[in-house]
Structure formats: structure tokens, C-alpha cells
Amino acid sequence: MGGSAMSEKVQQAVLWKVLENQQVQCHLCNFRCRIADGELGRCQVRRNIDGKLYSLNYHAVCSAQVDPIEKKPLFHFQPGQRSFSIAAVGCNFQCDFCQNWQISQSPRLQKQLRGGSVTPQEVVSQAKAYQCGSIAYTYTEPTVFMELAADCGRLARQEKLANVFVSNGYMTIEALEFASDFLDAINVDLKAFTEDFYHQRCKASLKPVLDSLRHIARQTDIWLELTTLVIPGLNDSDEELKQIAEFIAGELGQHVPWHVSRFYPNFEMTDTPATPAETLAKAYELGKGAGLHYIYVGNMPGFGHESTYCQKCGELLIERTGYHIGQFNLIDGACPGCGEKMAGKDLG
């Protein structure tokens, strides 16, 4: 599913309202774009056509493949299972360090909707054929292909498959409520803890992300994990990493897993070096100091801090190297040594 043809198919959008003079306002993400007739929203994949809002990327699926669920990364949801991962082009952020910029930014940079049309029935059928436990909406921002995700997700639920998002967390509360009947788990990128970073690097804002995270943790049954890509010189200070860890522990819960991930030069940040190992080790210690039960170091297979240990007695529960699971010592989701339940969902 790649292709390079410009998609001409549209699908009526969800979560918008009519304004005056044939304008519409989108309520899918926190930009809440006001869009004039004929114009595009900030994400470049939603257009006002004659006073109605349409999704342009419903038929622009640009990636479909089978991944370990650990790649999302989700370590406390269906561990060891596979996830059928799909993406449609587009994003509401403009991160200059994006690892998937070729597909997330193509509508903005190339003015192209690269991809093809895949029905929800085909997506679910493929997920079942590959014996996946879930469908992941990932690689780009799933919020901006919510229509496709919802159609796939509701059908997946009927077929006993779970649904997961890998997201920047900029969706509105309305979008979270809309997705709550099919979404089982989410990994949100908490990219930094300053407005300056979000404004300069992502062309967005921090506060709506924090609001979404609080809502997910406190008001929904969606399993939540967080990832921070640690970028040298930008979000790697002791103070900022400590603030992130304290926010997770204090406002979301000590049980919420935090993945600190190594940055590699990419997109518009090819001159920035990869994250030193000692910085990630420092982030791990700061997370522990903040009281977090589960902290993982990503993008550095074999470095350590990839396995899950019982937060009560310290016994090894799930051994990991990269995306590979070795020992799996859970019994009914609990530690075999002390009986403490491991935080998570669908632990097997």
C-alpha cells in the first residue's frame, strides 16, 4: 500500500460544526481550525467543500504491516502479541525531528495524498489472518484519520480485536470521547515539558497535550503509556526530565509506563547528535526518583531497562531485548513471587 497517485475520494468528516458564511470548525484536534469554503485545515487532510467538512485521507492508506505490540511501544498491553499497524498520510504537527516525515508531512510538503484505498473489512481480515491481537493506528497521527480508525476499530471490536493509537495527544476531549467505544490503549508522545519546545519544534502547544493525558488517565478505561524522545540540547536537562516524570507520577499515576527513547538525526535535525546513553540512564534514575514504577529505555536494544520487574518485590516478570520477549513469568497478570498485580491491560 504505497502508491503516489493523488487521492480524489473523500469521506464526510466527524466532529465539526457549521459556522457562518459556509465556514466550518473542526473539533477533532485542539487547533479547532475554522475553515473557509474550499480551504484545508492545518493538517492538510480535511477540506471544507460547500460548507461541509470532509476527510481527504480516508482512502490514502500509506502503510500496513505487522509489528510486535512492543514496537508501539506498549509494554503493558497484550505483551508478546502482534499488532496489525496502519497509517494514512498527514499530521496536525510539524515536528522538525519527525521520524516518519515522508508520510506525515507529505500533504504539506509535496501537496500529495500518497496511498491507496483499503476497506475496514480488509484491514480487520488482514489482522486476523496474521493472528494479531490488535490493530494499531500509528506512524502518522491517528487523530487526523479518525474516520478510518473508527470504522476499522468498531468492526475490529466485533471480531474480538483490540485497537491502539500511537499519538501526539493533541486530540480534543470530544475526540477522546468519540473514540472511547473502540479504543483500548494509547501511547502518547510527551515530547517535552515547555511551551517553547512545542511552539518552536512542533508548531503546537503543550497544555492541550497535558489536558488530554489527564482525561485519558482519569476519565477513560483506555490503557495509557507515554514516550519521550530525548533530544540533546532541547529537552534533556535534568530539570525538564524530572518535571515530566513528576507530572506522570503525580497527575497520571505511578503505574503509568514512561518510555525514554534515543533520538537519531532525521528530517530537519540531521546535525543534532544521537542521544548519549548516559542521558537516557539519567532519565531512568530521575523517573525512579519521582516514584514511577515502570521506566523503559528505547531505541537502544541491549542497553538495559527494557524488561519489566515487579514493582513490589523486584522479580523479573517480562524479559525484553528490543522487541523480543524472552522469559514471561506472569501468572494471571501477577507476579509469581509475591502475587502483586502488574499494571496493564490484556496481560494474558
What are 204's three cell numbers?
A: 503546537
For the chain, the structural domain boundaries read 1-7+57-188, 11-55
**Buried b vs exposed e over 172-181: b needs ≥16 C-beta within 10 Å?**
bbebbebbee
Regions of the chain with pLDDT less than 50: 1-7
User: What is the C-alpha R_g of the chain?
Assistant: 20
3-state secondary structure of 312: coil
CATH superfamily of 1-7+57-188: Aldolase class I (3.20.20.70)
3-state secondary structure of 233: coil
- Residue 8's contacts (CB-CB under 8 Å, 6 or more residues apart) are none
Q: Is the pTM of this model over 0.85?
A: yes
pLDDT at 8: 57
φ and ψ of 127, to 5 deg: -60, -40
Q: Where are the alpha helices (DSSP H) in 78-198?
A: 101-104, 106-109, 120-129, 146-158, 173-179, 195-197
pLDDT at 304: 86
pLDDT at 313: 97
256 DSSP assignment: S
pLDDT at 134: 98
Q: How far apart are CA 200 and CA 101, in angstroms?
A: 17
Contacts of the segment 13-20: beta carbons below 8 A, 24+ positions apart: 13/46, 13/53, 13/54, 13/55, 13/147, 14/146, 14/147, 14/150, 14/178, 15/146, 15/172, 15/174, 15/175, 15/178, 16/53, 18/51
Number of neighbours of residue 200 by Cβ within 10 angstroms: 12
Q: Name the helix (H) or strand (E) containing 287.
A: helix 277-289
